[in-house]
């Protein structure tokens, strides 16, 4: 009898403990934030900074865990299959949640059905650049020259993202350029400076230092309008290609079905953190234009981005490079 009472008492204590934990406001324990890319990469660095800030404000550790591979798909699939309890999150990107469904036949997850978007952290605009002495120093001149001599002007690109940006530009501007694939930005920059190629498109984060040093000239950014990353450089849209906008982005996701309290708490706190001057300055240093979206606006954004990237990838028959 005494043993039965002891077991009953132990069970009651455990039950009460669970009840207390469940009653605690989110987060009641440490949270994992999976980055599906290697440590030290831009998304990783930005995620670690944001995780540090939200750890301080919510009083629980937000621990960043890198699970790279397959263009971000390995880590993304891992989170899609994790418990939907608010304690495993993903820093997704345009690569994992907009482009991937159209690039990989057996993805292993559905970006819309398996994930709940929490908050957009920022966008990563691209920029078209050329050598400083090139007389084709504006979008208008580039388009005119491309139409006059179709597919003779070379444009270097280094990733699926920059290839997609080039393809969208050619479609919307009716500018028949010739894309040249490179495996990395360094060699493409060297060839551009040396005259082996005439133009290049890549993220501002990859090209900003070279532009600032005067080795390259920025023609236009691919965000809807000029931004703080390259002040004074007009966008493609502002130079006459109406509606042109294509950028990379970082967006925090939770597995679909995660508690609404967790999603709401994270979205509210991230919006507050992103409004801080020091947070914005840090992201700008990393080549990320701070931009916050939550709620219905964010849901609409994720669907629109998936449609945009899908249309470009399909029409240009882009494959993983």
Instruction: Give tens-digit pLDDT for 181-219.
Output: 999 899 999 999 999 999 999 999 999 999 999 999 999
Q: What tens digit of pLDDT does each residue of 119-150 get? A: 999 999 999 999 999 999 999 999 999 999 99
Name the band, by pLDDT with cuts 50, 70 and 90, for residue 1. Answer: very low
Q: What tens digit of pLDDT does each residue of 242-281 get? A: 999 999 999 999 999 999 999 999 999 999 999 999 999 9
Q: What tens digit of pLDDT does each residue of 30-87 get? A: 999 999 999 999 999 999 999 999 999 999 999 999 999 999 999 999 999 999 999 9
Cα–Cα distance measured from residue 136 to residue 152, given in angstroms and rounded to the nearest whole number: 14
50 burial via Cβ count (<10 Å: 0-12, 13-18, 19+): buried
Domains of the chain: 31-124+247-316 (3.40.190.150), 125-239 (3.40.190.10)
**Whether residue 91 has pLDDT greater than 80:** yes
Which residues have a Cβ under 8 Å from the Cβ of 201 and sit 6 or more positions away? 126, 127, 128, 129, 155, 156, 157, 162, 165, 166, 169, 222
Indicate yes or no: pTM above 0.85.
yes
Cβ atoms 221, 233 nearer than 8 A? yes
Cα–Cα distance measured from residue 242 to residue 137, given in angstroms and rounded to the nearest whole number: 19
Beta strand pairing call for 217-221 and 115-130: antiparallel
């Amino acid at each position: 009898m005494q043993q039965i009472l002891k077991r009953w008492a132990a069970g009651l204590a455990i039950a009460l403990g669970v009840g207390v934990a469940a009653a605690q406001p989110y987060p009641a324990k440490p949270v994992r934030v999976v980055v599906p890319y290697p440590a030290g990469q831009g998304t990783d660095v930005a995620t670690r900074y944001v995780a540090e800030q939200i750890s301080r404000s919510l009083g629980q550790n937000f621990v960043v865990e890198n699970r790279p591979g397959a263009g971000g798909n390995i880590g993304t699939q891992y989170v899609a299959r994790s418990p939907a309890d608010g304690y495993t999150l993903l820093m997704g990107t345009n690569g994992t949640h907009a482009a991937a469904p159209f690039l990989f036949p057996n993805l292993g997850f559905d970006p819309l059905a398996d994930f709940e978007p929490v908050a957009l952290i920022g966008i990563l605009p691209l920029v078209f650049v050329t050598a400083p002495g090139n007389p084709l120093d504006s979008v208008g001149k580039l388009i005119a020259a491309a139409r006059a001599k179709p597919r003779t002007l070379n444009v270097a690109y280094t990733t699926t993202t920059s290839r997609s940006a080039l393809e969208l530009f050619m479609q919307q501007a009716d500018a028949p350029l010739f894309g040249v694939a490179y495996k990395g930005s360094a060699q493409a920059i060297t060839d551009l400076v040396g005259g082996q190629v005439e133009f290049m498109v890549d993220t501002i984060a990859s090209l900003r230092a070279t532009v600032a040093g005067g080795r390259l000239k920025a023609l236009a950014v691919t965000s809807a309008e000029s931004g703080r990353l390259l002040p004074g450089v007009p966008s493609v849209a502002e130079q006459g290609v109406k509606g042109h906008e294509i950028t990379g982005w970082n967006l925090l996701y939770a597995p679909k079905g995660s508690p609404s309290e967790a999603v709401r708490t994270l979205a509210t706190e991230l919006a507050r953190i992103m409004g801080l001057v020091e947070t914005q300055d840090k992201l700008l240093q990393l080549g990320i234009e701070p931009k916050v979206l939550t709620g219905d606006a964010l849901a609409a954004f994720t669907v629109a981005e998936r449609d945009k990237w899908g249309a470009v990838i399909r029409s240009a028959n882009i494959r993983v490079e």
